[in-house]
Amino acid sequence: MLVSINENDPLPIYLQIVRQLKEQVLVGELCPGEELPSVRELGDALGISLHTARSAYQTLSDTGLLRIRLGKRARIADPGSIQQPSDVDRSALRDSAKDLVIDAMLCGMNSDDVHVMMDEEIGKLRLRSDEVGQDVEGRGK
């Protein structure tokens, strides 16, 4: 597991960690049953507070991506226990996508540019998943 913090990113640190761990699970760099560093180890390694590290792990646990048990290290959950998006979650995802499109267009991108950007990001994820033999497209179906 390799996580880095970008101090210039407006996204809160705990959400930067969440995003990176989700991506690592998606592409197969982190596998079901794999142990993560303790909250203390993660905090020390990244120079962040225990509260921030705990918030990241709790957020991932709330989605079913991590299994957390008192006195044990957090582990990546088995695929069957990861929550599938509900209608409410899909609505939130749609809102996030809308925000992305609006922000991109306000920055001068046209719809073709936005499509290209999204295709590039999907391509990068596919490439990383191919390197570890993971099927990104099979997730969430």
Choose between 63 and 40: higher pLDDT. 40
Architecture in CATH of 1-82: Orthogonal Bundle (1.10)
Amino acid 141: pLDDT: 38
* Residue 100: both structure tokens together: 């992305």
- Count CB atoms within 10 A of the CB of residue 102: 11
Domain boundaries, the chain: 1-82, 84-141
| Residues near 58 by beta carbon (within 8 Å), at least 6 away in sequence | 68
- Reported as type and span, the H/E element at residue 18 is helix 13-27
pTM of the predicted model as reported, rounded to 2 decimal places: 0.76
- Reported as type and span, the H/E element at residue 90 is helix 87-106
Choose between 138 and 56: higher pLDDT. 56
